Structures are given as structure tokens and as C-alpha cells.
Structure 1
Amino acid sequence: MTEAAIRRTPGTPCWVSLMVHNLAETQEFYGTLFGWEFRPGPQQLGPYVRGLLDGKEIAGIGQLPPGRQLPPGRQLPTAWLTYLATDDADKTAETIRSHGGTVGVGPLDAAEAGRMAIASDPTGAVFGIWQAAAHTGTVVAGAHGTPVWNELITRETSWVATFYKSLFDYDVEALVSADSDEMTLRLDGRPVASLRGTGRALVRDRGAHWMTYFEVDDTDAAAKVVTGLGGQVLRAPWDGPNGRFATVADPEGAVFTIVRSAVR
């Protein structure tokens, strides 16, 4: 395991979190799948815990408020949320608004941990921004159960790339291909995230969204654990240029991708 740098360059994915209906059952799922242990985190938005590996913070899971505003039998959707680092959450929130995005929560202080906001880009993809104080974000990389990549899945990349470039000093590298719409976001010469346009194939019930990739020791074995714990395999394991992948969902429907990276 290696510790990540304490200060992230603004725009670097630095944390992922999940809001769920049943916190205890979700802890059991991710604890078994990834080996996380848990301890309480800031409670401003309700019950919240941080997943740990060897005592080091990996990701957050919180309890959704009751969905009283929804019709009977329906619940608020659950989804993993990618946070992008910022040195000034208030300034970044204003930039989001001025470039066609929406700020839904905050900016607000999360106790002594830092300052955050939750926003959506012009295509509706939800993401967070995090101004670190005591809590700098995920501090372990490369081990089983750690976030290793974040990708925006959207209909078309060029317009939304302009939005994210207005927020942070990304260098945008397009993959030149007749049948692919992909871009890599780089900071300080280093790839930090990607954008993937899927055109009309964009899943209608999810729309544009950020996808979190978690490292696993064995993709096929981890996919079997997912189903054994009540989750689903949405795309069976496949080999890609950077490793072996599978897209899965937890028992509440939160979608994520697991990968055994080709280079660890």
C-alpha cells in the first residue's frame, strides 16, 4: 500500500462516497467485498461512516434521509459520488454556477474535516468538490478495495470537457478514433480521470454519471462475491488494455466497476 500525497492538485479526484437507505447492510456488503472496517465521520447530513483499510481512510458511506417526498414504494436512488479536490470550495461553486452547472448542496463545512459542495454539470452528472482541512481524502492507493479511477460517462464529451476545464486547469487529451469518443483529463502531466461519450447508448434511467473503479485482487472472484452478497453483475468480467474489469451493483443498486489492474 502507498499513501497518496497530502495535498491534491485542484481537480484531482480525492474521495468517493455513497448515500444509502440501509447503512448497516451496506457496511456489511463493502466490508466483506473490500475488507473495509468502519468508523464514524462527520454527521452534518445524517449518519455517516468512513471505510478503512489498515486504519487508513478509503471512502465514505452515509444514510439517506427518508424519501417522504417520493410516491409510495419508491426510494431515492443510490450512487457513488466522486469528489474533486479544490483549494476554495466557494470559488469553485461560483464557477460551476457561472458555467451552466448546478450546486445542490453547500458549500458547507463538514466539522473539522473540510469544506464541501455537491453539484451537477450541465449534462446532469453529479459530483462533489472537497476543500481539505483535517480530512485530505483517500490515503491508500493500489490495494484491494481502493478507488483507482474515476470516469464520467456522458452522451458526448467535447461540450462537457469545456465545462470541467473551466473549473480546473486540466489538459484534455482526446483519443483519436473513428468509433470512440473518449478523453483523458491530465493535471501536471498525469492522467487523473477520463470522459467517455456513449451517444444514444447512454443508459436512460441513469443518465450522465461518474463511475468509480475499485481495485480488486481477482476480478472474477470479486464478481462472484458481489452476487453472493445480494448484488448484481451488470457486465461480466472482460479484459481491457489496462486490466480485467467487471461492472457491478450493490444490493441497493449503486453501480461501480471492479478491476484487477494490469500494472499495480
Structure 2
Amino acid sequence: MTDARGNARPNGEAPAPHPPGTPCWVSLMVHGLEATEEFYGALFGWEFRPGPEQLGPYVRALRDGHAVAGVGVLPPDRRLPIAWTPYFASDDVNATADAVRSCGGTIGVGPLDAGDAGRLAIGSDPGGAVFGIWQPATHTGHVLTGTPGTPAWNELTTYESAPVAKFYGTVFGHDGERTVSADLDHVTLHLDGRPVAAVHGLGRALPRDRGPHWTTYFAVADTDDAVERVRHLGGRVLRPPRDGDRGRSALVADPEGARFAVVQTVR
């Protein structure tokens, strides 16, 4: 799950854009930007730089000098859920937004320009899970994934995997590979034969207070150590560390309640 795409490009050239349909960015909207920077800076070693002014108070999180995530501020009168949102690459955000609508999803924000960085839209699939669409200009998305402090994986939790996987397949060109199991409803989404995300169906076991939602996994050097740091920094542990196909992972939440996972990837 490590991708150093773009690091070795010659003559200081910008990294190549992610292929359309690839998860290329993650962002978080919060109420307290300073406290959020302190939490993730201590947990992941992130540094922060100002982002596009068109997005309001917004910063980019950097790891080893590379942008890996974005954090913005919610308007005081907006009481939306605090949640990490994955963005999928597109070479035409307007066309992709039209495809979302035609396939039963909705577009809640945009399409709109983010300065010279690119163009974006935020939508939801037919089950209500929120995701973003990113058409790059000067900002192509994250260039590092799977190394400590960077996004490693995204997984959608929903009611039933098949219809939602079909939605993402139609909109973004994903191919779905179903896990053959009588008691597990799970589909891995592929692009050009490469796994890029997963869909996990829980049926009626899906918590009503959460509804369908995406979870971003961030890579760490040691999952158990990261969990202890989350607790120490004022976050919560929602699912303790356990071993799985993609490594040892845990589900946690930051002090404002944004859920995410940490994963020590299999080497």
C-alpha cells in the first residue's frame, strides 16, 4: 500500500496526476483548527501550510515536505458531522458530477474552483456516504501513500455492497471483486487491476447514528503505539488494535469526533 508516485520526477516537475477514479486526497472540516493541528501534528508528525484562500480558513498537512491531507474550518452556524472525506480523481469534475446525479447520487457542493490548485465537488452516493471529486491543476493530490503519517486505504461502510459498488463502478470506472463468503458482504474496488478502495456491507447492523460512511486509514509505524498516543492526545479508541489482511489496525476518533483508522501495514 505504499505509493511514492511522483517523488523521482526529474527537473523538479510536478507529480503526474492520479488516474481518474483513484483516491487522491482526504480532507477534514472542523470547528477548532488550532487544536486539530496540534492533535494530528503530534500523532502523525504533520506540519501545516496555508491552502487555497477560496476554501476559507484551510491548511494543507505536510509529511516530509509532501502534502498528504487538508483541514478546513466549518462556518460557526454549520453543525455538520466532523468526518474525513476521501476525494477521487477526475479529469472533468463537471462531467463526473453529472454522472453522480444520473446514477442516483447527489452533489452538495460545487463544482467550484479552488484557486489555481484545481476544481472540486462534494457529493454523496445513493446510500448517503459523502465523498469528494478532484480535478487537479497545480495540486495533483497526495504523492505519498502508505508510509507513516500518510493515507493508506479507504473503506466504505454501507448497508449492502453490491448496489453501491455498482454506483462507484459506473461513476469512476471501478471494477468490483467480491469476497466469497456466506457471512461477509465485502467488495474490493479495482482500477486497472490495482485495489484502490473497499466496500463493506453491514445490513441492519449498520449503526443508525452513523449511516453509510467512508473511513480513511492512515499508515503508522506501530498501531499499538499510535493508539496510546491517540488516548494521550485526547482522542478516543473505538475499536482496539487487531490483525487483518492489510495489517494491524485500530479505529479511533480525534477530539472533535472525526473517525479514522490507523494501520501498521504488512511488509
Q: TM-score, normalised on structure 2?
A: 0.94
Contact between 1:46 and 1:65, CA under 8 Å: does it hold in 2? Answer: no
Amino acid paired to 1:3:
A
- The 3-state SS of whatever aligns with 1:163 is helix
Spell out the pairing of 1:37-48 with structure 2 (5 A cutoff): 37-48=47-58
Aligned to 2:69: 59
Take 2:215 and 2:242, find their aligned partners in 1: how far apart are those partners?
17
Rounded to whole Å, the distance in 2 between the matches of 1:186 and 1:198 is: 21
CA contact (8 A) 1:247 1:258 kept: yes
| 1:72 aligned residue | none
Q: Which residue of 2 aligns with 1:82?
A: 86
Counterpart-to-counterpart distance in 1, 2:3 and 2:214: 25
Once the 2 structures are TM-superposed, how far is the Cα of residue 46 of structure 1 from its aligned partner?
A: 1.5
CA contact (8 A) 2:18 2:141 kept: no
Q: In the aligned structure 2, how far is the partner of 1:174 from the partner of 1:114?
A: 34
- What 5-or-longer segments of structure 2 have no aligned partner? 7-15
Match of 2:96 in 1: 92
1:1-264 to 2 correspondence within 5 Å?
3-5=4-6, 6-67=16-77, 75-263=79-267
Deviation, structure 1 residue 142: 2.5
Q: What letter is aligned with 2:218?
A: F
- Residue identity (%): 62
SS at match of 2:210: coil
How far is 1:56 from its partner? 0.7
State the 1:2 CA deviation: 5.5
Q: Deviations over 1:208-252 (max 9, x none)?
A: 011100000010110010011110000011111221110000000
CA distance in 1, matches of 2:226, 2:258: 16
The amino acid that maps onto 1:4 is R
- Work out the number of aligned pairs and report it: 257
Report if the CA contact (8 A) 1:85-1:129 is conserved. Answer: yes
Distance between the aligned counterparts of 1:43 and 1:100, measured in 2? 32
User: Structure 1 regions of 5+ residues with no counterpart?
Assistant: 69-74
Partner amino acid for 1:182?
Answer: H
Are the counterparts in 1 of residues 146 and 218 from structure 2 also a CA contact under 8 Å? no
Q: Is the 8 A contact 1:153 1:196 kept in 2?
A: yes
Runs (4+) of structure 1 exceeding 4 A deviation are none
Question: Could you list the per-position Cα deviations for residues 91-124 of structure 1 after superposition, in whole angstroms to 9, with x for gaps in the alignment?
Answer: 0001111111110000001000000000001100
So what's the TM-score if we normalise by structure 1? 0.95
Structure-1 separation of matches of 2:215 and 2:241: 16
Partner Cα distance (2:200, 2:3) in 1: 28
SS at the partner of 2:55? coil
